[in-house]
Structure 1
Amino acid sequence: MVRFSNNIIGLLNFLTFLLSIPIVVGGVWLSKHGSTECDRWLDKPVIAIGVFLLIVSLAGLIGACCRVTWLLWLYLLVMFLLIVILFAFTIFAFVVTNKGAGEVVSNRGYKEYRLGDYSNWLQKRVNNAKTWNRIKSCLQSGKVCTEFHEKFLNDTVNDLYKENLSALQSGCCKPSDECNFIYENPTTWTKTANASLNNPDCNAWDNDPNTLCFNCQSCKAGLLHNVKTAWKKVAVINIIVLIFLIIVYTIGCCAFRNNRQDNWKRY
């Protein structure tokens, strides 16, 4: 009679196997039909995750249900490494996102963002020209500032100042308040002689819809604010996944022991 732990491992890996198929198909679809560089950039990671889940789930399924001890041993080894990696990433995510927050501006409904407020590791990532050009392309194709322009087109300057803008809208789609530019519409501002010389973003701003403040430090900071928020959520989810993986790993160890005992009995 197949033991309970083998049944559980077999069932869990069968479900994982089923889950891996649409992930692989989705990655292949993105590579063929992705309309933007952002979409196409995602295809390889998605395919890699899908193939990884497919192989590991097959190893666990066959190892548990067919009593193939060496496959179950390989499955447990991969699971152990996955637990270690996930634990390390969770700690890392908390460390690199412990700094940085939007700066409250007097009489404004939004915050402004400074690149220097975030961790050095995150700053290095967005200061890499190749990386930032790819991110900038994604922001432009995602029409972040086009939607910003359309949404607040009828606002006066005072109306705009009261809006609760997102980090990307505040950092990438309008100049810093410190620049003292003259407002024409949400994405068109006239530079003035008394613009701040201490803020390089004032020079980087351009009314061209493809430029705006996409080359500004504030835009990079706005992106990092979103990254920080997302990573915090991911880290919390990782803790839940870690608990689940440890439980599965423990059940897998029981199934591995059952396989070894059955092999000893045969001989």
Structure 2
Amino acid sequence: MRASNHLIGVVNFLTFLLSVPILAGGIWLSSKANSTDCMKFLQWPLIVIGVALMVVSLAGFAGSCYRNTFLMYLYMWAMFFIIAALIGFVIFAYAVTDKGSGRPVLNRAYLEYYLEDYSGWLERRVSDNSYWYKIASCIRDSRVCGKMKRTVNGIPETTDMFYSRKLSPIESGCCKPPTDCGYTFMNETLWSPGGGLVGPSPDCARWNNDQQILCYACDSCRAGVLASLKHSWRKVSIINIIVLILLVIFYVIAYAALRNNKRMDNDEPYGETRMTKAHPSALHF
């Protein structure tokens, strides 16, 4: 009985440690939401799961230490629902970020992003004009485009240097016009038609050298946000899958230990009764 309780206590302590990377992943998504991704609600399910796992593991640890059966069963049921919620979150994260990726461009190190490459719930959410206004304002306030500017020994970078850069999805989609528009590079956020024909894409007309406008209204900017979200979520999902596998293993161990405790509790009265019948003299001196 005592050995099983100790095992459950160790499992609960390890479960508490596993709640840390889940909570850290939610906090990291929150920091991304406040800086570049600007989708401010997606991180909360993960944060809630991490906090719930932390609280439940502490309750289970207390139950194993004080041999509180109620806390132990509460821990098992709560863990079941937490594992189910984490599975649901991982499936949801992969489902809504399943489609879409950047397209390579000739003589460019960075990728171009097109909204038509994406679909599903997340794409509809980002494409909604009322919601996009908030996202675009967040990207503008983050000054991600202003941070693109570089100098080499005090001299602004050249066209070739810029073309050899690997831009983030938001930098590529929101801070410059699409490559097929035919604009000429002047600096990172200043482009000229150059006397040539501007491409037929609607984004070509939406581009504006005003630093408060740029390509924030472009479909390429929406696609850049979706690509950035996909990259962030996939990173977190890999950690969540590893944690989920360990949680299932720990849950099975804790369940087996709890069943062993229950079996031993049921066997003790029977064992004592059998011993009393076999050795009645044990009660008489």
So what's the TM-score if we normalise by structure 1? 0.78
Cα shift at 1:125: 2.1
Q: Does 1:228 pair with 2:230? A: yes
Q: 1:2 to 1:132 in 2, by over 3 A?
A: farther
**Distance in 2 (alpha carbons) for counterparts of 1:84 and 1:160:** 46
Q: Do the aligned partners of 1:172 and 1:216 also contact (CA within 8 Å) in 2?
A: yes
Cα shift at 1:137: 3.6
- How many residues align? The count is 256
Structure 1 match to 2:274: none
Q: Do the aligned partners of 1:107 and 1:161 also contact (CA within 8 Å) in 2?
A: yes
1:140 counterpart letter in structure 2: R
Q: Give per-residue Cα distances to partners, 1:189-228, cap 9 Å, x unaligned.
A: 23567322x3221222222223211221111211222222
Q: Does 1:243 pair with 2:239? A: no
Larger Rg: 2
SS of 2:145's equivalent in the other structure is helix
2:93 counterpart letter in structure 1: A
The alignment yields a C-alpha RMSD, in angstroms, of 3.6
Structure 2 match to 1:186: 188
Q: Do the aligned partners of 2:83 and 2:248 also contact (CA within 8 Å) in 1?
A: yes
**Distance in 2 (alpha carbons) for counterparts of 1:258 and 1:242:** 24
Q: Do the aligned partners of 1:181 and 1:189 also contact (CA within 8 Å) in 2?
A: yes
Match of 2:175 among 153, 173, 176: 173
Q: Do the aligned partners of 1:101 and 1:225 also contact (CA within 8 Å) in 2?
A: yes
**Distance in 2 (alpha carbons) for counterparts of 1:237 and 1:99:** 21
Counterparts of residues 180-219 of structure 1 (less than 5 Å) = 180-191=182-193, 194-196=197-199, 198-219=200-221
SS of 1:164's equivalent in the other structure is coil
Q: Do the aligned partners of 1:69 and 1:259 also contact (CA within 8 Å) in 2?
A: no
Q: Do the aligned partners of 1:102 and 1:114 also contact (CA within 8 Å) in 2?
A: yes
Deviation larger for 92-101 or 235-244: 92-101
- Structure 1: 4+ residue segments shifted above 6 A: 18-21
So what's the TM-score if we normalise by structure 2? 0.74
Structure 2 match to 1:3: 3
Q: Do the aligned partners of 1:3 and 1:258 also contact (CA within 8 Å) in 2?
A: no
Structure 2 match to 1:110: 110
**Distance in 1 (alpha carbons) for counterparts of 2:111 and 2:13:** 48
Counterparts of residues 39-118 of structure 1 (less than 5 Å) = 45=44, 48-49=48-49, 51-118=51-118
List alignment gaps of at least 5 residues for structure 1.
28-33
